Amino acid sequence: AEARALLTKEPAPQAVPVAQLPMKVAEVALNTGPHSSCGLATAGFRTAKYLPHEWHEHHHGLTLEAAVGCEQAERCCREARSLARSTAAAAQHAQQHSTAALGQRLQDIHFWKAELQKEIEDLVAETGLLAAQKVRLERALDATEMPYAIATDNLQCRERRQHPDLVRDQVETELLKEAELIRNIQELLKRTLMQAVNQMRLNRDHKEVCEMDWSDKIETYNIDEKCGRYNNQSTNIQFHPGSVKFEESASTPETWSKFSHDNIYRAEREKLASVNLRALIDSILHDVSEDLRLQYAAVNEAFAKRCEELEDAKHKLEFHLKNTLKEIGDQEANIAALKQAIKDKETPMKVAQTRLYDRSFRPNVELCRDPAQFRLISEVEELTESIESLKKKLLESEQSLRNLEDTRMNLEKEIAVKTNSIFIDKQKCMAHRTPYPGVLKLAGYQ
């Protein structure tokens, strides 16, 4: 307004910017006319001067240029202030969006971190449970040593039985089955123990993978949390021109989440395998303990039945031995009676033969075959026949006595064999089976 007030002539309205106005070419007026000077009087003065209207135009142009410059400066200031406000708002908006993105990223990291931590805790707990099952397997494997030693010792003890009791009976069959069962169980427990060790190693390996991922998530979470706390009033911020770039090894959000998802998936798979293995170990130990106790009962039942058979056979043999001894005594008395009977026949034989001998000296016609002679001859023949029959019966009785003696010896030997077999089965084998481990010990609980 002050510029306009100082103008001597009202300028024309400026519809076109100054920069687009055509340049005015000033024409120099020649000193001709009534007011021109020439000659020596004008020597040393300008021959060409601005005219008044040129001075006014020049003055008007300067003021106009100043006014336009001020107006342009004001417009530039307004635009600068508007741009500053818009850029400040844009920067604040961008910073808010970045902070929100960092917050969302923190939520994502926290989610996967929590999932990894839960998986790590589950793997640690599962590995501990599997380690307890491994201890049960080791205890059960150690507990099978005593039954195997008992079975082999029973078999070796029964080898000391004497003939004819050295027979492959039901007891030996059950003992062989027990020894074979224990060997198979030991092999099964060893294989299962190796599976448990390998599964524990796999659990620890996947736990370490998850722990490394979890550790990276923790570090990243701390970094992003620190970044999220930065603001315009922070004192530890500075320029990092080279940071505005993507690393060549950087992952994408899809590969980043897939990496943690795959780690958790593999850990879950191993955890499920560990759970199934624990269930299998429970089943194996339960079946093993039941099978061993059932076989133990079958062997004991076979021993009891065999001992009952042996004792019954021994009682029968003792009964027959008792009868045999009685028969031997009766036969000895019978033999003594037969000998006495034979001896008792000697005197009548002497009497009869003496009578016949003396009557053979009868003279002449008195040597007659009278009835007395026939009677004496018949008596001698009867006595001879009786003595022969008694001697024959004596031989038979003596042979019977020898047979009874042989039978007595065989019975006594057989009774000794049965006594030895009963001692081996009852006192050695069955007594040795008393400390057989219980179900809890065979199942690995003790």
List per-block mean pLDDT (blocks of 10 residues) for the chain, which spans 446 residues. Answer: 41 50 50 50 57 85 89 90 90 90 91 93 94 92 90 89 85 92 93 94 94 93 90 84 76 89 94 94 91 90 91 92 92 92 90 89 86 90 91 92 92 91 87 80 75
In the chain, the amino acid numbered 267 is: A
Candidates 291, 300, 287; CA nearest to 174 is 300
Q: What is the pLDDT of residue 16?
A: 47
CB contact set of 146 (below 8 Å; sequence gap of 6+): 435, 436, 437
Distance of CA 366 to the CA centre of its chain: 126
Q: What is the pLDDT of residue 44?
A: 52
Please identify which residue in the block is written with the tokens 């016609």. 365
124-151 exposure pattern, b = at least 16 Cβ within 10 A, e = fewer: eebbeebeebbebbebbbebbeebbebb
Candidates 197, 419, 425, 396; CA nearest to 307 is 425
* 21 Rama sector, left if φ>0, alpha if ψ -120 to 50, beta otherwise: beta
* Contact yes or no for 260/213 (Cβ under 8 A): yes
> Could you tell me the two tokens for 52?
């008044």
* Contact yes or no for 67/7 (Cβ under 8 A): no
Q: Tell me the CB-side half-sphere exposure of residue 183, using CA atoms within 13 A.
A: 8
Q: Tell me the CB-side half-sphere exposure of residue 423, using CA atoms within 13 A.
A: 9
Q: What is the pLDDT of residue 250?
A: 80
* Contact yes or no for 135/284 (Cβ under 8 A): no
Q: What is the pLDDT of residue 426?
A: 86
- Calpha distance 312→412 (Å, rounded): 15
* SS3 (DSSP) at 7: coil
Q: What is the pLDDT of residue 244?
A: 75
* SS3 (DSSP) at 10: coil
* Contact yes or no for 307/171 (Cβ under 8 A): no
> Could you tell me the two tokens for 175?
């003992």
DSSP H helices, 144-252, are 145-158, 170-229
Positive or negative CA dihedral for 171, 177, 181, 184? positive
CB contact set of 380 (below 8 Å; sequence gap of 6+): 349, 352, 353, 356
Q: What is the pLDDT of residue 246?
A: 72
Q: What is the pLDDT of residue 166?
A: 85
